[in-house]
Chains A and B, each alone.
Chain A
Amino acid sequence: QKEVEQNSGPLSVPEGAIASLNCTYSDRGSQSFFWYRQYSGKSPELIMFIYSNGDKEDGRFTAQLNKASQYVSLLIRDSQPSDSATYLCAVNSNSGYALNFGKGTSLLVTP
């Protein structure tokens, strides 16, 4: 069983819309959750992290965490073509020092 699951996409949204990216995880002991953005040919860039149940907002990005449902999501408001990338969900492992990554969701924002 894969520990972190993401829909591979592609998820296509029009410019200006809200993009919703979802992630589920299997380890109930996980405490920290991260969203990375990866452009083609580049390395992952950390865009959001969340530790507590609820929502966390940073600019156009909102991370949502529901530990009971083992679910974390990322909302991107006012999506721009420059947001087109692969979004990786990462969850800390039992040890706390390693991150388990999903395979990523490809997002395409169309003008």
Chain B
Amino acid sequence: KAGVTQTPRYLIKTRGQQVTLSCSPISGHRSVSWYQQTPGQGLQFLFEYFSETQRNKGNFPGRFSGRQFSNSRSEMNVSTLELGDSALYLCASSLGTNYNEQFFGPGTRLTVL
């Protein structure tokens, strides 16, 4: 069974630009969660989508947004990039039940210059 895939794996942008990251979950999984990982803050929850609906959102500014498509693939977008947005962005896939075992993709390393 294929795992979670994320593209691109690495990205370099400059301040003020916007970026779109993509995630394809494990086949059969309908929930996709996004996390930001930085050395200082650790892993922080961004948002979660299930059947194209956002069910939960973390404490991030509105510059961070996402969506999910009918095939469960998800994208997240960050507009007006800031230096502090440099991080590893991780996507996690799950069945979406209450017990919520989440499986992570390899991540996208975003560097903002």
Contacts and interface: CB of A to CB of B under 8 A. Distances in A.
Contacts of B88: 43
Interface in A89-107: 90, 92-93, 95-104
Contact of B99 (A32, A42, A43, A101): A32
Contacts of B33: 97-99
Interface stretch (B12-20, B43-51, B60-68, B76-84): B43-51
Interface residues of A, number: 25
A34 interface: yes
B58 interface: yes
Main secondary structure of the interface of A (DSSP, over half): loop
Interface of B: 31, 33, 35, 42-45, 48, 50, 55-56, 58, 88, 90, 92, 96, 98-107
Interface of A: 31-32, 34, 36, 42-46, 49, 51, 88, 90, 92-93, 95-104
